[in-house]
Structure formats: structure tokens, C-alpha cells
Amino acid sequence: MSLKKYVVRRIGQLIVTYWAFLTLLFVVFRLAPGDPTSMYLQEGLSAEEREAILARHGLDQPLHIQYVEYMTQYLTGDLGQSFRHGVPVWDVLVVRFFNTIILMGLAFAIAYLIGVTVGAFIGWVRGTRKEKTGIVVTLIARSSPEFWIGILLLMVFTFYLGWFPSGGIRPPGTEYETFLGRYLNWGVAYHLVLPVLTGVIYYMATPTLLMRSSMINVLNSDFIQIKKAEGIPEYIILYKHAARNSILPMTTVVALVVGMSIGGSLVIETVFSWPGMGREMVESVTYNDYPLAQAIFFLMGSLVIWMNFVADLAYVYLDPRVRYD
């Protein structure tokens, strides 16, 4: 199969996945109990007032009309109005979405960079003391809950040493004009250190352990022996052949774990009072703010779908065998 055909087929799959995902999202929110008015019923909301509110949001329409309406809106990039804030959902989310992406993206990139390197190394030195130490340290990191790591870091670096701020995203009272300016400054970098470190410690273990077992598999292959017999220096065999082949299964895992970690950002955001999407998600669900919650789920799901798409395309470049399957 040619490369072009593969990409076209993969885009087709992407569209179908999106349709299924959007439909599922629609169904889940219609099945969920309550509506935007149920929070206020006990405050003496009259039946007529309730009807009026529902009508304003289009919730009095039959389901299939709602479905078509919902699909058209999402396809045109309109995520709807927040019940609670009374403003477009996008206005509420845009800042928080990028806050989360900055935090988790950074944590993730560093965690995988370190994880893959360390994993490749401890796979290479299999059977030595270094490998055992590496595994023990990794397992400790793997078994520590995020909130606990976060609190520990806060205790040491904020309360004892006073090196880093205890929370927030930038020093209070600072204003920035441009979008990039909001993030590219020392204040944000300074606030990022501890939450990112928490994420790195927590998310590092999976790639480390995976890379290690993947390496051990590859190192048993005949071609590694041949490369050694060819007299190629060990370090070249390590990175050009062993690590290069071991990284293949990692790409798929990255795509899956990214989605999970965006959901898991809630814990880090709470510990470090980070104004991100995770916290907004919990609040919007608590207040029955369905358009907002729906949009957050949509963004998180989209991230997983797109990461998988990117991973599949990356695979084509990483593994020549995929192109001809």
C-alpha cells in the first residue's frame, strides 16, 4: 500500500472516529440527570420560568432536532453558551485550556525524554546493579500518588527552602498584552517548576519501564548480534539500532497516555492552584453546566484522537514495515 493511500485511509478513520465521539458525547449528556435549572428548583423557580430557561437553550426541542443543531454548532466551531457564566464556552475555556496544555505538555515532554533515555540505558545494562537501582527508583515514582509528590515538593521547596511559589500561574497583578507574552516570561517559568516536576516524576515511570522491556526484547534480536559482529561501536548500536527499534511501541503509548494525563491534570492543578481545565471540568459538572462540561470533554477527547492520528503518521516514518502492510 502506498503512503498516500495509507494517509487517506487514516484520515477517513479520523472522521468516523470524530463522528462516533461527538454522538457519544451528545447521548451521554442527554442521559445525565438534571438540567441547568435543577440547581435552582429549591430556590422557588416557577414552572413557567423553568420552561422559559429551557426554551432559551433549545432544550424543549425533540432530541433529533437537538442532535442536528448540536452537530452543526460543533462542526462550525461553536461550543455553545455556558449556563453558569452566561458567556460563550470558548471564552471561558481558551485561557484555561492553554494553561493546562502548557503545564501538562511540558511535564509530558520532559517525562518521556527522561523516561525513554533512562529506560534505554537500564535495558542496555541488564542484569547489573545499575539496572536494579533504576527499576527500584522508577517503581517508587510509579507508586507515589501525584498529590503526595506535589505536597512533598511544596513542603521542601516552598516551605523549607522558599525557592519556589506555592501556587498560581504568575505573580499576582501582572498583565500581559499578547497571547505568547502571557506564557513566555520568567514569572510563569518560575511558577511552572514545581507542578511540572510533580508531573515529570509521576509520568516518567511508564515510559521508563516500557522502554526497558522493549529494549530487552530488541537486544535479543539476531541483528544486534550481527551489528556487534560487524565491529560497530557499542554506543552506535545502542542508539542507532537498539533504541531506535525499541521506540516504536512507545509512540502508540504516548498517544494514549497523553489523553489520560490531561484528565489527570486535575490533581496537580488543585495542589498548585493552577487555573487549568481540570479544575474547570469538576466545577462545571458540579453546577450542571452541561455546555461547558461537554466542551471540556470534547477538547480532551479531541486531544486523544489527534495524538493517535499523529502517532500513526509518525509510525510510517519510524517503521518502514507499516507502509506495506
Stretch that binds other proteins, among 185-193, 198-206, 230-238, 295-303 (CB under 8 A): 230-238
Binding residue for other proteins, selected from 93, 241, 303, 308, defined by CB under 8 A: 241
Q: How far is the CB of 322 from other proteins (least distance, A)?
A: 10
SS3 59: coil
Stretch that binds other proteins, among 1-9, 10-18, 238-246, 272-280 (CB under 8 A): 238-246
Binding residue for other proteins, selected from 1, 228, 239, 256, defined by CB under 8 A: 228
Stretch that binds other proteins, among 140-148, 170-178, 220-228, 273-281 (CB under 8 A): 220-228
Which of residues 141 and 247 has its CB atom nearest to other proteins in the complex? Answer: 247
Q: How far is the CB of 225 from other proteins (least distance, A)?
A: 6
Q: Does 222 bind other proteins (CB under 8 A)?
A: yes
**One-letter amino acid of 191:** H
The radius of gyration of the chain's CA atoms, rounded to the nearest angstrom, is 24
- Give backbone dihedrals phi and psi of 266, rounded to 5 degrees, phi first: -50, -45
Q: Does 235 bind other proteins (CB under 8 A)?
A: no
Eight-state DSSP code of residue 61? S
Q: Three cell numbers at 158?
A: 516552598
Q: Does 324 bind other proteins (CB under 8 A)?
A: yes
Q: Does 321 bind other proteins (CB under 8 A)?
A: yes
Q: How far is the CB of 13 from other proteins (least distance, A)?
A: 24
Which of residues 163 and 239 has its CB atom nearest to other proteins in the complex? Answer: 239
Q: How far apart, in whole angstroms, are the C-alpha atoms of residue 288 and residue 35?
A: 7
Q: How far is the CB of 316 from other proteins (least distance, A)?
A: 12
| Cβ neighbour number for residue 111 with a 10 Å cutoff | 25
Q: How far apart, in whole angstroms, are the C-alpha atoms of residue 304 and residue 1?
A: 26
Which of residues 74 and 124 has its CB atom nearest to other proteins in the complex? Answer: 124
Q: How far is the CB of 241 from other proteins (least distance, A)?
A: 5
- Give backbone dihedrals phi and psi of 86, rounded to 5 degrees, phi first: 70, 15
- DSSP sequence for 158-205: IIIS--S-SS-SS-TT---SSHHHHHSSHHHHHHHHHHHHHHHHHHHH
Number of helices (H), then strands (E), in the chain: 14, 0
Residues 118-137 that bind other proteins (CB under 8 A): 127
Stretch that binds other proteins, among 36-44, 74-82, 129-137, 219-227 (CB under 8 A): 219-227
Binding residue for other proteins, selected from 68, 140, 232, 256, defined by CB under 8 A: 232
Query: How big is the site for other proteins, counted in residues (CB under 8 A)?
Result: 21
Q: Does 159 bind other proteins (CB under 8 A)?
A: no
What is the Cα 52 distance to its own chain's centre? 38
Stretch that binds other proteins, among 84-92, 150-158, 258-266, 312-320 (CB under 8 A): 312-320
Question: In sequence order, which residues have a C-beta less than 8 Å from that of residue 272 and are 6 or more positions away?
Answer: 150, 154, 166, 167, 168, 194, 195, 198
Q: Does 318 bind other proteins (CB under 8 A)?
A: yes
Which of residues 28 and 232 has its CB atom nearest to other proteins in the complex? Answer: 232
Q: How far apart, in whole angstroms, are the C-alpha atoms of residue 261 and residue 266?
A: 9
| Cβ neighbour number for residue 297 with a 10 Å cutoff | 19
Eight-state DSSP code of residue 280? H
Binding site for other proteins (CB under 8 A): 127, 221-223, 225-233, 241, 244-245, 318-321, 324
